[in-house]
Structure formats: C-alpha cells, structure tokens
Amino acid sequence: MQGEQTTIRVNLSGQAPRDIPQQTPVIDLSDNRLDANGLHYLGALVNNDVVSLSYPLETDCTVEFLTMADSHGWRIYRRSVSFLLAKAVKEVFPHAWFAVQHSLGSGYFCHFDDGTEAGASRKQIRLIERRMRELVAEDIPIFRRKISFSAAIAQLEEEGQRDKLNLLRFRNPPHVTMYTCEGFSDLAHGPMADRAGALGHFKLIPYPPGFVIQFPERDRAPALAPFERQPHLFQVFKEHKEWGRILGVQTVGDLNEINAQHQLGDFVRIAEALHEKKIARIADEIASRSGVRWILISGPSSAGKTTTAKRLAIHLRVNGLRPVTISTDDYFVDRERTPRDENGDYDFEHIDTIDLDLFNDHLARLDRGEEVDRPTFDFETGRREFRGDKLRIGPNEMVLIEGIHGLNPKLTKGLPAEHKFRLYINALTQLNLDLNNRISTTDNRLIRRIVRDNMFRGNTALRTLKMWQSVRRGEKTWIFPFQREADITFNSALDYELAVIKPFAEPVLAEVKPSDREYAEARRLLNFLESFLVAPAELVPQTSLLREFIGRSGFQY
C-alpha cells in the first residue's frame, strides 16, 4: 500500500541510530547473544517496556538488552529457570505434585510430593537437576506464542495443568500468550528467555520436605553465593502455607473461585481472626517473660508495622500491661549530619540518621527508672527540639519501639538483653499464581506502598517506584541481616488483600507512561493484578492491617 511504513528507526544503547524493517525480532539487532561480561541476553527494554527477545519491533524505538545483572533481566531469569524446573519435574516424575512456593535466601523453596511421606529424596533431586542441565546443554528453544483462547484451554487440558486453567476461568481474552517447550506449556506472566542454554546458573539444594532452587544474586551474577538456611523464616512460611492448604486457597484461581461464589466474606473473617489470634499469642508470650520492658518492632517497608504495634498494644493492655511508645524518628540527627549515599543524596535508611548515643542514653536511664526529656524532631526545619516532654517508665509499663532498625543491636546497646523482646514483621504471602509461578512478597509490599503513598502522602506511583530501589537497598543492609535476632516473626500477609487493593492500585499505576523509565515496572504490576477478581473493600474490618493502606482504619496514624 502506498505510504505504508516498511522501516523503523531504532536507537540501540551504545550504537548509532539505524533503520531496520518492521517486525524485526529484537535479538536480530545483536551479532551475538552475550554482553561484554559474558552474560546472556534474556530480554530487552523497548520504549521502557520489557519484552522477549523474539518480540517483533513495530515502531520507532529505543532498545536496551537485559541480562541477569539488571533487575528486569533477573526477574526474567528466575521465571525462566522456574519454567525449566517445572518441565523437568513433569518429565522425570510425571505423577508427582510439585510447586514453587516461596522465596528462601537466594532461591525458591519447592514442594515435591510423590505420594510418600518422605518428601523429595536426594536421589530424586539429583535426577531433576540432571534433566535440567541436559535441557540447558541441548539449548532447546522456548517459544512464545499467541493462540486463541479456546486453543489455550485445549492445550492446558491436554497437559492436565488445572492450576493454569483456573487462572483463565474468570477471564475471556480473544487470545492468550503462552510459552511452550517440547510439550510443556505455561501462561505468560512476563517475558521469558527464548533458549534453555541461557539458564545454566542454578543449583538444587535438599531442604526437607522439598528442595531449594538457588539462583545467582543479581549484583554478583552469574556466581552463586553460599546458601544460608533460614529455619525460623521457613517455619513461618510453612505455617501459613498449611493454613492455605486447609482452607483450600493456595493459588489465585482458588481465591477467584470463592470470590465469584460470594464466599469471600467468610474467608476474610477467618484471615483476620488468624491475625488476631497470632497477635494475642505474641502479647501472651511477652507478658509471660519476667523482666521484659522493651518491645522492639522491625520489618521492611509496608510490612504493616504500625497497625501491628497498635493491635499488640491493645492485647498487652488485656494482659494488664500499660504500653507506651517511643519513636526513633524523634531522635534523628539534624539534617546536615544525615549520612549520604553514593550519589550524594540523603540516606534516610542508614542507622546513623539516629543519634545513637542520645537514644541509648535515654533508654538506659528510663530502664533504671529515671526521667528523661524526650526530643521532638521538626521535619520542616530538619532539626531536633526539646519541648519539655518528660517521660518516666512506671510499674507495669512497657515501651514499644517501632522502626526499621528495631532489631539492630546498635539501636538498643544500652539495654540489658533480658529486658528486650524483639518482634519482626513481614508480609510473607503463601498464594501462588499457579504451581510454578509464585507471588513475590516484595511485590505485595510494593503495591501496598504505592496505594498508601498516593492516598495519604501525596505521592504518585511514579515517585514511589523511583524511590523503591533505594528502599530495597536499605532493607538489604539494615533490616534483613537482623531478622534472625527476632524472638517471634509475625506474618502480616492477608491472602485476600490483592483482590481488595486492586482497584486502588490500577488507576494510580496507569498514570505511569511509556516515556517514564519506571513504565516497565508499572506495566508488570498491572499485568499481575489482572489475574485477580476484584473484592469489595467493605469486607475489610476497620481493625484490619490492610486499612493502614486503603484507609478508613479504626486506628489513628
């Protein structure tokens, strides 16, 4: 047709712009499949959207290849290796029940059940890993296909993948994007590698009753770090997973089914009752410990620390105790003394944002029964002030200290260990999208924060996404290394919450445009939320932790 565009202009990072035919696959822009460091290309950013290497370029665009050293590429890598693992298990043990369940250290814990009570044996794990490495050595292709909805249903039914069929039960797109590899299929939850040869860096580690598949850490790619077992965290995940199994809700498809049948109200009440029961037990444990006067509460961003602290305070009062609160924010150093990061920006996640000498002096004096003059930090002036706010800890009083550094020994080095109780909070969801596609606990917290920041802090989703990498770096440095110090871990995840928070998050995320670098992340989260049927916020009680993020809480913040 006259005037029809047959070529497009492509700007590939590090190269001069060039004109190429429309529909050229992304991978054809490169003479090889490795970057300068020898890392495989796994996908690409095309106009700030993450795409597969087989993606046909249709418009003028800027292209940047992705490896596992990039956050988007790292996500592609883990998704692709999980796909390869699920295929290998299906081939070697076709009748076993297998699921990628949750993160654990630098990998994912995987459940394996062949009908015996022993779980995965070392021999079985070796056979699965051997088959995976054979697939890598053969460099078998992984195809991305758009097929009709009916063809997708027929294919998944033929393969017996009921978990993936459940995800399509309440959706009716005209076509479905799928990945296939030698008789094994998966719904596209995001781009995957196009060949198994790019997926050779992993290790299967026995971890009864299943095993862990370990991945390289992004900042050390492609090296595998020594694996560290986390029995305390694993037990928290295991308990929550067992709760989901008992109620019959282990995947998003299960959740959608009870939502569609108008039975979600009961599920919400049970989930909230479980939270209440666990918080009551924590209060009972604190009350039973002689000499405890300081409750240190820590956890990553949007874990629900504030609401949990308020609910815990109520249960402590039921036990005859009188909780008071000290905010570490009031002990911030003056703004000019705040540490800076490698870019010269203020690093508000750093522990030295707190005047540790003054804080520990006040804690030690209060612990001895003395009176202190508490400071107040003025965030407008960036300075600490003393306004005559006197405090003394009386009989039966306990102090709650809530903040990201709560478990760091430096924060409370002036207190005797026997006077402290340490509580770690995180949202450790047990829900999966399907059996080999987990829901990231980080994504859960990020969506909570995007909604809360927009509703109560005047931040757009774009601003929150821009800050998120800095927040994550702070968590890895100042929170996660100390989680083992906790006396108890509270899991703040609510398995119904993403169905409720979806309509709050979607319009905010849609404001992030393709011209923004963060567009890829916003689009990924929007695609993820498509899997959930919406649940009405009216089902959420006012005392719920979720109200901290969506509003109308019965607590004051």
Same-domain pairing of 323 and 431: yes
Distance of CA 514 to the CA centre of its chain: 24
Residue 117: how many other CB atoms lie within 10 Å: 6
- Whether 225 is covered by a domain: the verdict is yes
Tell me the C-alpha distance between 147 and 156, whole Å: 12
Residues 61 and 80 in one domain: no
From residue 333, alpha-carbon distances to 341, 351, 352, 474, 515 in Å are: 16, 11, 8, 18, 38
Domain that holds residue 505: 235-550
Confidence check: pLDDT of 4 > 80: no
User: What is the mean predicted confidence (pLDDT) over 528-551?
Assistant: 97
At 440, the pLDDT band (50, 70, 90 cuts) reads very high
- Domain check: are 341 and 441 in the same one? yes
Q: What is the pLDDT of residues 250-277, one digit of tens each?
A: 999 999 999 999 999 999 999 999 999 9
Closest CA relative to residue 80, chosen from 109, 52, 45, 99: 52
Let me know if residue 140 belongs to a domain.
yes
pLDDT at position 168: 94
Average pLDDT, the chain: 94
Where residue 1 falls among pLDDT bands split at 50, 70, 90? very low
pLDDT tens track for 301-346: 999 999 999 999 999 999 999 999 998 989 999 999 999 988 888 8
The yes-or-no verdict on residue 136 having pLDDT over 80 is yes
Spatial neighbors of 347 by CB under 8 A, at least 6 apart, are 338, 339, 340, 341, 353, 474
Distance CA(195)–CA(142), nearest Å, equals 5
Residue reference for tokens 């005392």: 543
Examine the pLDDT at 180 and tell me if it is beyond 70. Answer: yes
Q: At what angle do helices 497-509 and 441-456 cross, to 10 degrees?
A: 60
Among 215, 71, 191, 234, CA closest to 132: 215
SS3 of the chain: helix, strand, coil, percent, to 5: 40, 25, 35
Task: With residue 76 as reference, give the H or E element that holds it.
Answer: helix 71-92
Of residues 348 and 460, more confidently modeled? 460
Of 125, 25, 123, which is closest to residue 65 (Cα–Cα)? 25
> Do 84 and 151 lie in a common domain?
yes
For the stretch 63-94, pLDDT in tens is 999 999 999 999 999 999 999 999 999 999 99
Kindly state whether residues 207 and 282 are assigned to the same domain.
no
Residue length of the chain = 557
* CATH number of the domain encompassing residue 389: 3.40.50.300
| Predicted local distance difference test score (pLDDT) of residue 3 | 52
Global pTM value: 0.93
Q: Which residues pair with 186 in a beta bridge?
A: 179
Do 54 and 123 have their domain in common? no
Given 67, 91, 112, which residue is the final one in a domain? 67
Q: What is the pLDDT of residue 5?
A: 59
Distance CA 391, CA 400 (A): 14
Residue 380 has pLDDT above 70, yes or no: yes
Verify that 297 and 217 share a domain, yes or no.
no
Does the residue 212 lie in any domain? yes
- Same structural domain, 248 and 222: no
Burial (Cβ within 10 Å: 0-12, 13-18, ≥19) of residue 473: middle
Give me the DSSP letters along 278-325.
HHHHHHHHHHHSTT--EEEEE--TTS-HHHHHHHHHHHHHHTT-EEEE
- Beta-bridged to residue 97, according to DSSP, are 113
Q: How many CB atoms lie within 10 A of CB 359?
A: 23
Tell me whether residue 1 is in a domain: no
The neighbour count for residue 133, using CB atoms within 10 Å, is: 17
Judgement on whether residues 19 and 92 belong to the same structural domain of the protein: no
Q: How far apart (Å, rounded) are the C-alpha atoms in residues 39 and 33?
A: 8
What average pLDDT does this structure show over 207-232?
Answer: 91
Indicate which CATH number applies to the domain containing 81. 3.30.980.10
Domain boundary (48, 67, 86) is at 67
Same domain, 409 and 528: yes
SS (H, E, C) 367-402: HCCCCEEEEEEECCCCEEEEEEEEECCCCCEEEEEE
CA distance 472 to 475: 5
For the chain, the domain total comes to 3
pLDDT tens string 386-406? 999 999 998 889 999 998 999
DSSP for residue 404: T
Q: Report the percent of the chain where pLDDT is more than 90.
A: 84
